[in-house]
C-alpha cells in the first residue's frame, strides 16, 4: 500500500504544478510572494515561477531513474521554500493570498494553504527513490491506485481555499457590462450567426470598418452595397454566452458623418433596424 501511495505522488504533483503554472501565467494580479516585490519585477517573477513549475511537472511525468529523483528532489525543495515563504508572508501581510494558483488564491494565507504546501513537500520527498517515471506509474494502475488517488485528491480539495473562489465565480460571473471580452471573439461568433449569413451578400468586405463596445454589446460596422447604393451594415453581438444574441441593421452610408449635437437625422433610406434582419436572440 505504501508503495502504491508513493507511485501516485509524481503524477499528482505534476498535475498540481501544471495547474499552478497555468493559473500564474494567465492571471495578471499579483498575489503571494510576487506582491512583496517591486511592481516592475512582479510579472516576470510570476512568469518565471510558472515556467519552473511547468518544467518540473514535465520532468516528473517523463523522466525516469536518477533524473526523476532529481526532479522529485527539486520539487520537494520548491515546496519547502514555498512553505517558508508562506510563513514569512503571513507574518508580513496577514491579508495577502498565497498566490499558489494565481488570482484564484485570494484567501489570506492560513493553516489550510500551509498544510497543503507541507503535504506536497512530504509527497515529493517521499517519492524519491522510485525507479519509474510518473507516466509509467499510471500505465498499469490497480484499483488501489485509484482509491489512493481519490483519497489524496479529497484531502487536497479540503485544504484548497481556491475551490471556494471557483464556486463563487461560477455562481456570480462578471456581469456582461463589465466583462472584458476581445472583439475578435465577438467577430468569430458573429460569423457563425444566421444574421451574418443573411447580410453577407451585402458586404463589400468581411473585415469590419469599425468596432466599438457599448455595455453588453460589441458593434461591428461593415461597408456594403445595396441596389447600387453604399450602405453601412452594422451588427451588435452580445458579450458572453455560447450562442450570443446578434442584431443587425442596414443604413445609408454617409459621405459626411453627422456631427455630435446635430446628428438626430434618421440614418435611414433603407430603414433603421433592418426589418428583414433575423435577430437570433436565442441563447
Partner 1 sequence: MTAETQDRRRLTAALLGPDAAPVPDGPPANVFRGALVDVGPHLLTLATPDGERRFVLTEETAFWRGGGSAFHELRPGEDVIVRCALGSHWVAERVWAGLARVTGVITAVDGDALEVATGHDRAPAAVVIPYRASGRMQVRHPRLEPGYLFDAIGVWDGDTVRALLPATSQPPYPAAEAPRRPAVRRGSMRVSGMVSWYDPALGRATGGNPLAMRTGLAYPALDRGADCGPGCDRATACAPLPLLSLGATVRLTNDCTGGAAALPVVACGAAASHFCDRCVACDSQERGRVAQLTLASFVALGGQPEAGCFNATLTAG
Q: Give contact residues for partner 1 (rule: CB under 8 A).
A: 29, 35, 39, 168, 172, 174-183, 209-217, 219, 221, 232, 234, 236, 247-249, 251, 254, 256-264, 267, 272-273
Of 3 and 255, which CB lies nearer to partner 1 in the complex structure?
255
Q: How far is the CB of 216 from partner 1 (least distance, A)?
A: 8
Of 154 and 272, which CB lies nearer to partner 1 in the complex structure?
272
Q: Which of 193, 210, 204, 205 is nearest to 248 (CA)?
A: 193
Of 146 and 283, which CB lies nearer to partner 1 in the complex structure?
283
Helix (H) or strand (E) holding 237: strand 229-238
Q: How far is the CB of 218 from partner 1 (least distance, A)?
A: 8
Q: Is 132 helix (H, G, I), strand (E, B) or coil?
A: coil
Q: How far is the CB of 157 from partner 1 (least distance, A)?
A: 22
Of 14 and 220, which CB lies nearer to partner 1 in the complex structure?
220
Q: How far apart are CA 185 and CA 240, in angstroms?
A: 10
What does residue 282 show for φ and ψ, rounded to 5 degrees?
-75, 140
Of 71 and 250, which CB lies nearer to partner 1 in the complex structure?
250
Of 56 and 236, which CB lies nearer to partner 1 in the complex structure?
236
Q: How far apart are CA 214 and CA 168, in angstroms?
A: 26
Q: How far is the CB of 40 from partner 1 (least distance, A)?
A: 9
Q: How far is the CB of 161 from partner 1 (least distance, A)?
A: 15
Q: How far apart are CA 197 and CA 211, in angstroms?
A: 19
Q: How far is the CB of 213 from partner 1 (least distance, A)?
A: 4
Contacts of 167 (CB under 8 A, 6+ apart): none
**Cβ contacts of 176-185, under 8 Å, gap ≥ 24:** 176/215, 176/216, 176/238, 176/239, 176/240, 177/215, 177/216, 179/239, 179/240, 181/218, 181/239, 181/240, 183/211, 183/213, 183/218, 183/220
Amino acid at each position: 500500500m505504501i508503495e502504491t501511495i508513493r507511485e501516485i505522488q509524481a503524477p499528482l504533483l505534476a498535475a498540481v504544478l501544471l495547474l499552478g503554472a497555468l493559473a500564474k501565467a494567465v492571471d495578471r494580479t499579483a498575489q503571494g510572494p510576487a506582491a512583496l516585490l517591486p511592481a516592475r519585477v512582479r510579472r516576470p517573477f510570476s512568469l518565471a515561477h510558472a515556467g519552473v513549475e511547468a518544467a518540473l511537472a514535465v520532468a516528473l511525468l517523463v523522466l525516469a531513474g536518477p533524473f526523476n529523483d532529481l526532479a522529485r528532489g527539486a520539487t520537494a525543495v520548491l515546496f519547502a521554500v514555498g512553505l517558508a515563504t508562506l510563513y514569512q508572508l503571513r507574518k508580513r501581510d496577514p491579508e495577502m493570498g498565497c498566490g499558489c494558483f494565481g488570482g484564484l488564491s485570494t484567501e489570506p494565507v492560513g493553516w489550510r494553504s500551509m498544510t497543503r504546501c507541507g503535504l506536497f513537500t512530504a509527497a515529493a520527498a517521499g517519492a524519491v527513490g522510485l525507479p519509474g517515471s510518473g507516466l509509467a506509474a499510471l500505465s498499469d494502475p490497480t484499483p488501489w491506485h485509484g482509491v489512493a488517488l481519490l483519497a489524496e485528491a479529497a484531502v487536497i480539495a479540503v485544504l484548497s481555499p481556491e475551490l471556494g473562489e471557483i464556486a463563487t465565480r461560477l455562481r456570480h460571473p462578471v456581469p456582461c457590462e463589465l466583462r472584458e471580452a476581445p472583439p475578435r471573439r465577438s467577430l468569430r461568433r458573429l460569423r457563425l450567426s444566421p444574421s451574418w449569413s443573411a447580410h453577407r451578400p451585402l458586404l463589400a468586405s468581411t473585415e469590419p470598418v469599425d468596432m466599438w463596445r457599448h455595455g453588453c454589446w460589441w458593434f461591428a460596422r461593415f461597408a456594403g452595397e445595396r441596389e447600387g447604393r453604399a450602405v453601412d451594415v452594422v451588427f451588435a453581438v452580445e458579450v458572453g454566452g455560447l450562442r450570443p444574441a446578434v442584431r443587425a441593421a442596414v443604413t445609408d452610408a454617409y459621405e459626411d458623418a453627422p456631427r455630435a449635437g446635430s446628428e438626430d437625422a434618421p440614418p435611414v433610406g433603407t430603414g433603421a433596424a433592418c426589418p428583414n434582419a433575423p435577430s437570433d436572440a436565442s441563447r
